[in-house]
Amino acid sequence: MSHDVAVLGVGMHPWGKWGRSFVEYGVTAAERALADAGVEWNDVQFVVGGETVRNGYGGYVAGSTFARALGWNGSRVATCYAACASGSAAIEAARTRILAGLCDVALVVGADTTPKGFLAPNSGERWDDPDWLRFRLVGATNPTYFGLYARRRMDLYGSTTADFAAVKLKNALHGLHNENARFRKEVTLEEVEMSPVVADPLRLLDICATSDGGAAVVLTSMDYARRHTTAPVRIRAVSTVTPRFPNTALDMPDLSTDSAVAVCEPEQSFRASIAHAAYEEAGIGPEDLSLAEVYDLSTALELDWYEDIGLCKPGGAEGLLRDGVTTLGGKLPVNPSGGLACFGEAVPAQAIAQVCEITWQLRGAAGPRQVEGARVGVTANQGLFGHGSAVLLST
């Protein structure tokens, strides 16, 4: 039995700091995805929204918010929240319903309007909430963790700040021709090195911004897709795995790791297990990949992801970067979209945006940033509180 579903349509609202309602961004992305799919809104049977927690009650019930904004059509509706993995969770909900035979056409939408500066927890005192506690007790913003991960990489593998800067330079070059990206400008090594330190050893240009934006995909059964196109892009697997105890690598927003005194560490780290589960489900390995979109919250984290999705062994990421393997024109480009370095983070939309980019690449429709001969692509990211996120797509 095939577990494939088709990505029949994709659409985005450009990323930026627009200062308008997230609903506007989501509706624009949804309408573009529907037009791309050649599907009428009234033919959509299931709507899934990625939840945004910074935009009032409408953000908490994003699925119905988008359905109402598009015009009630009687479709079933759901809303998913998994922090940065919200988009993948929403895609998995739609995919599961299609594979169960309960619908043929589903629309998945994520959009966000973000405040200026660092993301922070909602107001109020919650002494049993680790995300609130890390801000209250030690003032640990997201970049604090990014800095810790970067320092860990330097200590283990000898990474340098020049290596981190090289990731920024690569992604800035990739994003130049992406009309949906917020930052479309080449960056020099000097500009990175002269930008302010935010969380040592990371500087401002090593860390992604927060952004407004929206992304949407139309998913269908394979039978439905074949009636509309001769070459549908397929979702081969979705991974939403959680860590295995003991999780001995510090994950945001925790202030400590699990103890491995009484229980042996798992064979794979949490991040490495995310893509591995997708490969296992699809019967595809990292050697089959044409490209990848990974969650470069920081430049150093992108290097970690190279190893976690199986492109190389631990400590080998810098070699891939220096050899041009992960640059457009290289053997396996990573973040041809420009990544978060060029977009900034719009939390519930970002994982969906990754799927949009892979879809355009597999169609051969990515323009100047096209990966030649793209056949298989994977997305990878991670949400707070143990939410894994990977989507494996192929022609």
pLDDT for residue 2: 78
Residue 217 gets the label, from left (phi > 0), alpha (psi -120 to 50) or beta, of: beta
How far apart are the two ends of the chain, measured CA to CA in Å?
18
Q: If one looks up domain 130-205+234-394 in CATH, what number appears?
A: 3.40.47.10
pLDDT for residue 1: 58
* Widest distance between CA atoms in the chain: 57
| The domains spanning 5-117+213-233 and 130-205+234-394 adopt the same CATH topology | yes
pTM: 0.96
pLDDT in single tens digits along all 395 residues of the chain: 578 999 999 999 999 999 999 999 999 999 999 999 999 999 999 999 999 988 898 999 999 999 999 999 999 999 999 999 999 999 999 999 999 999 999 999 999 999 888 887 877 889 988 889 999 988 999 999 999 999 999 999 999 999 999 999 999 999 999 999 999 999 999 999 999 999 999 999 999 999 999 999 999 999 999 999 989 999 999 999 999 999 998 899 998 999 999 999 999 999 999 999 999 999 999 999 999 999 999 999 999 999 999 999 999 999 999 999 999 999 999 999 999 999 999 999 999 999 999 999 999 999 999 999 999 999 999 999 999 999 999 99
| The dihedral sign for the CA sequence 180, 285, 221, 97 | negative
pLDDT for residue 125: 87
CATH class of segment(s) 5-117+213-233: alpha beta
SS3 category, 226: helix
Q: How far apart are CA 259 and CA 281, in angstroms?
A: 30
Ordered by start, the domain boundaries in the chain are 5-117+213-233, 130-205+234-394
